[in-house]
């Protein structure tokens, strides 16, 4: 009999409920329910629309209850750093603030006021210093939203919050907690001494739960509402990149992975963190992975820029989608300059096209004019960051990267894949597209004893979905 599992996957613009069917050899995916996931701009702040998203989760589960299937488990993944506060009665104190909000701006400098240096934080946590990290968002809350923190009993990261809503049980999942920059990278638990120095209330932190452990069962209230039984909710690699890397059929131990979507996360899977002066100078991060692995990686602004182009251009011409933008960029071969995709201009502009043109005029004394030229300078900048990251991995890990395994929605852009191979001078293997969902699923299958380990799960994924190869030209 086929094994049926459910995966909730929340991306930058949409959420999905995906159903997996595993026959013992291959996995098939079916989309059950899709819904938008856009931040809400209210009173000069970006928020998650959490209550509507949780409602959509229950809509999806109601659809499943009408199907002739027996679901064995549920897993949830989304991006890192964002969190919510729960009061002593178990209620949500406010809508969670979205990482695209600018409240973290300037907080790296203000952190010095605590007497704790950015270097000290990195040496403990192994996480690159970024204003979006939970530790800086939380420090902002302590300084400027203290009334909310004072009334909070617990802090839950977003997948923790969704799981809490389904089960009533509170934990902080390991891979998502590692993105907060509040976890000790070596101990794989909270860095209590560091957090106490900063003044972060330890009572807010929940017990760490690892991927593959059972979070709890659907609560009676949720069961009655959606028409399902007490299905177990399993802690997966709830950080979507942790799930994506879990699903990456790595060519070898010297292969780099590139999870390519709104963000590009390029790195290598290691047994132990790399935390030293060189990794700090290169601003590399050591995030938690499935089976206790370390995801040694670099965060790079990815297709966020291209997505914003598409959103704008398609308002004027519905024929201009991702495929057309990629085609026009490929044709603009005469454009040999590039933007820095990590520049602050591109974090959350209201008009990405204007931001790119402004950057080129001010920083490069150039002015791209056509859609193809504007897209090309962006592609060039993104892929050059890939090259820099690969070279930095080789230097800091003392290894030679033999291949780049690209996964995620970005691999549908064949121009991007070929350009990555050309610029990095590394072979590129692409697939699967639905990496975060599949990583979510194989951890569930492992927890339920249907597969032995991550290696077996990756082999099943490799045999179930299309894999393409790109050689450098």
Active centre residues (catalytic)? 240
Asked if residue 34 lies in contact with residue 14, where contact means CB atoms within 8 angstroms, the answer is yes
Instruction: Give CA–CA dist 397/269, Å, rounded.
Output: 11
- How far is Cα 148 from Cα 228, in angstroms, rounded to an integer? 35
Residue 418 burial (C-beta neighbours within 10 Å; 0-12, 13-18, 19+):
middle
Q: Give the whole-angstrom CA distance, residue 335 versus residue 457.
A: 42
Cβ atoms 269, 228 nearer than 8 A: no
Pairing label, strands 403-407, 428-430: parallel
- Which tokens in the block code for residue 170? 């509170």
66 Cβ contact partners less than 8 Å away, ≥ 6 residues apart: 227
Rounded to an integer, what distance in angstroms lies between the CA atom of residue 470 and that of residue 84?
Answer: 42
């Amino acid at each position: 009999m086929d094994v049926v599992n459910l995966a909730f996957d929340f991306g930058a613009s949409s959420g999905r409920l995906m159903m997996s069917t595993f026959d013992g050899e291959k996995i098939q995916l079916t989309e059950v329910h899709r819904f938008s996931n856009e931040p809400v701009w209210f009173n000069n702040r970006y928020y998650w629309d959490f209550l509507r998203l949780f409602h959509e989760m229950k809509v999806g589960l109601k659809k499943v209850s009408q199907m002739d299937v027996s679901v064995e488990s549920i897993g949830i993944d989304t991006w890192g750093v964002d969190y919510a506060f729960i009061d002593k009665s178990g209620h949500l104190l406010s809508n969670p603030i979205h990482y695209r909000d600018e409240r973290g701006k300037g907080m790296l400098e203000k952190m010095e006021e605590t007497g704790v240096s950015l270097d000290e934080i990195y040496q403990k946590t192994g996480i690159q210093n970024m204003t979006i990290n939970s530790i800086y968002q939380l420090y902002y809350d302590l300084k400027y939203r203290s009334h909310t923190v004072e009334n909070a009993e617990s802090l839950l990261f977003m997948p923790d919050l969704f799981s809490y809503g389904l089960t009533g049980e509170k934990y902080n999942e390991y891979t998502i907690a590692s993105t907060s920059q509040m976890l000790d990278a070596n101990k794989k638990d909270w860095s209590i001494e560091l957090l106490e120095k900063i003044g972060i209330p330890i009572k807010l932190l929940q017990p760490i739960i690892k991927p593959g452990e059972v979070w709890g069962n659907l609560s009676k209230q949720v069961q009655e509402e959606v028409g399902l039984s007490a299905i177990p909710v399993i802690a997966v690699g709830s950080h979507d990149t942790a799930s994506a890397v879990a699903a990456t059929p790595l060519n070898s131990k010297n292969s780099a992975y590139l999870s390519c979507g709104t963000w590009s996360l390029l790195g290598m899977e290691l047994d132990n963190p790399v935390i030293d002066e060189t990794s700090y100078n290169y601003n590399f991060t050591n995030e938690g992975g499935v089976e206790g692995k370390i995801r040694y990686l670099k965060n790079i602004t990815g297709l966020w820029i291209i997505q914003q182009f598409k959103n704008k251009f398609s308002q004027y011409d519905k024929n201009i989608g991702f495929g057309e933008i990629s085609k026009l960029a490929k044709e603009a071969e005469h454009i040999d300059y590039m933007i820095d995709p990590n520049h602050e201009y591109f974090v959350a502009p209201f008009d990405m096209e204007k931001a790119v043109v402004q950057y080129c005029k001010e920083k490069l004394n150039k002015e791209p004019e056509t859609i193809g030229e504007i897209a090309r300078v962006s592609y060039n900048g993104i892929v050059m960051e890939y090259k820099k990251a690969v070279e930095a991995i080789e230097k800091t890990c003392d290894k030679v990267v033999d291949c780049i395994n690209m996964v995620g929605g970005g691999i549908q852009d064949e121009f991007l894949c070929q350009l990555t191979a050309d610029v990095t001078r590394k072979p590129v293997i692409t697939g699967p597209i639905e990496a975060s969902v599949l990583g979510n699923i194989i951890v569930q299958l492992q927890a339920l004893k249907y597969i032995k380990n991550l290696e077996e799960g990756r082999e099943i994924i490799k045999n179930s979905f299309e894999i393409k190869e790109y050689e450098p030209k």
